[in-house]
């Protein structure tokens, strides 16, 4: 094993980051014509990898692109890459672009897809975020409507999210809330949003125009199994600001408390007890999943 900080795989070839190159004619570079997934490792085991690869395939089909790599081929490359690291905690980003070719929007100009996998050491989220919570602001940038670029397609077309988080940073906030054309909350720039109201966990429905996060779906399942009230329902920023609790979720953040929305404190301006309890249940789920997956990992096979 090597003491690496990062490694790149391009179409099956592994290379150090400083030697990795992408063609300026790649449609992912030119037009954001690509799909991607992000997962991470716990104890060197990729978390919910098959679920992420299933969504990668759905995203590709959502932009009219049938993947040229099978899930098994991508998994093999990921496991090969992991063997090069001593680190137990890694960030893994899988990207597939429609490929290179003549400059033009027509997808048929592509000469074949490109697969990129980024492996990087995963630095932990600052503990202070979970102790004190983070702040959100409502962005003036709307989330893409489903009839434009469907938010449930995890594509490389992210400019409106970039503009939204830029607004958040200008106001000193951690992240931005993105609304749909009806004024309802969809998600943050890179996470799903939840509120707690009357002791019920509430998150916007997919129909609001958001990415169906894997962590989001897992938490709904966990809540239901533990008889915790949970539902998918539209809500506005105004309703968020008077909620008992607010939190955001994603693979790399897990369950992160929000204690301020648009400058207004949520509850007592401290991470909520319901949020903490759900996070603890989620961590139990992670440990159970990783324990099972470790038994199936290639390096544990005879």
pLDDT tens figures, 175-220: 999 999 999 999 999 999 999 999 999 999 999 999 999 999 999 9
Q: Which residues contact 167 (CB under 8 A, 6 or more apart)?
A: 137, 139, 140, 141, 176
Q: Where are the domains of the chain?
A: 6-121, 127-288
Q: How far is CA 264 from CA 89, 241, 261, in A?
A: 35, 7, 5
User: Do the Cβ atoms of 190 and 201 come closer than 8 Å?
Assistant: no
Angular region, 25: left φ>0, alpha ψ -120 to 50, beta rest:
alpha
Q: What is the pLDDT of residue 302?
A: 45
pLDDT at 99 over 70: yes
Provide the CB-side half-sphere exposure for 106 (13 A, CA): 7
The DSSP symbol for 184 reads -
Model pLDDT for residues 11-55, shown as the tens digit of each residue: 999 999 999 999 999 999 999 999 999 999 999 999 999 999 999
User: What's the mean pLDDT in 161-182?
Assistant: 97
Q: What is the pLDDT of residue 2?
A: 64
Q: How far apart are CA 262 and CA 295, in angstroms?
A: 46
The fourth-level CATH superfamily of domain 127-288 is D-amino Acid Aminotransferase, subunit A, domain 2 (3.20.10.10)
Q: Which residues contact 229 (CB under 8 A, 6 or more apart)?
A: 199, 200, 201, 223
Q: How far apart are CA 159 and CA 152, in angstroms?
A: 16
User: Do the Cβ atoms of 49 and 294 come closer than 8 Å?
Assistant: no
Nearest to 251 by CA among 188, 197, 191: 191
pLDDT at 295 over 80: no
User: What's the mean pLDDT in 104-131?
Assistant: 96
Residue 170 neighbours by CB distance under 10 Å:
10
User: Do the Cβ atoms of 57 and 68 come closer than 8 Å?
Assistant: no
User: Do the Cβ atoms of 94 and 56 come closer than 8 Å?
Assistant: yes
Q: What is the pLDDT of residue 37?
A: 97
Between 57-61, 141-145, 182-186, 228-232, the lowest mean confidence (pLDDT) is in: 141-145
CATH number, domain 6-121, options 3.40.1000.10, 3.40.50.80, 3.30.470.10, 2.40.30.40: 3.30.470.10
């Amino acid at each position: 094993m090597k003491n690496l900080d990062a490694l790149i795989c391009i179409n099956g070839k592994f290379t150090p980051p400083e030697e990795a190159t992408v063609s300026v004619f790649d449609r992912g570079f030119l037009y954001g014509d690509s799909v991607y997934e992000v997962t991470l490792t716990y104890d060197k085991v990729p978390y919910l990898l098959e679920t992420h690869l299933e969504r990668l395939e759905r995203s590709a089909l959502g932009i009219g692109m049938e993947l040229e790599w099978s899930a098994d081929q991508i998994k093999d490359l990921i496991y090969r890459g992991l063997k090069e690291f001593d680190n137990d905690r890694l960030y893994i980003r899988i990207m597939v672009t429609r490929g290179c070719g003549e400059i033009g929007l027509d997808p048929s100009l592509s000469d074949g897809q490109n697969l990129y996998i980024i492996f990087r050491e995963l630095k932990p989220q600052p503990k202070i975020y979970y102790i004190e919570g983070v702040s959100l602001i409502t962005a003036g940038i709307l989330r893409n409507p489903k009839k434009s670029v469907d938010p449930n397609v995890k594509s490389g077309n992210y400019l409106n999210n970039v503009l939204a988080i830029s607004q958040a940073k200008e106001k000193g906030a951690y992240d931005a809330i993105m609304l749909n054309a009806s004024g309802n909350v969809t998600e943050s720039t890179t996470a799903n949003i939840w509120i707690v109201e009357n002791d019920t966990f509430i998150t916007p429905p997919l129909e609001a125009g958001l990415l169906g996060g894997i962590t989001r779906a897992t938490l709904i399942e966990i809540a239901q199994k533990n008889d915790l009230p949970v539902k998918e329902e539209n809500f506005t920023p105004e309703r968020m600001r008077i909620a008992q609790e607010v939190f955001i979720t994603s693979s790399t953040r897990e369950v992160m408390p929000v204690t301020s929305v648009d400058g207004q404190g949520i509850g007592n301006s401290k991470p909520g007890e319901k949020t903490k309890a759900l996070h603890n249940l989620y961590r139990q789920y992670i440990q159970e999943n990783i324990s099972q997956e470790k038994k199936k990992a290639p390096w544990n096979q005879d």
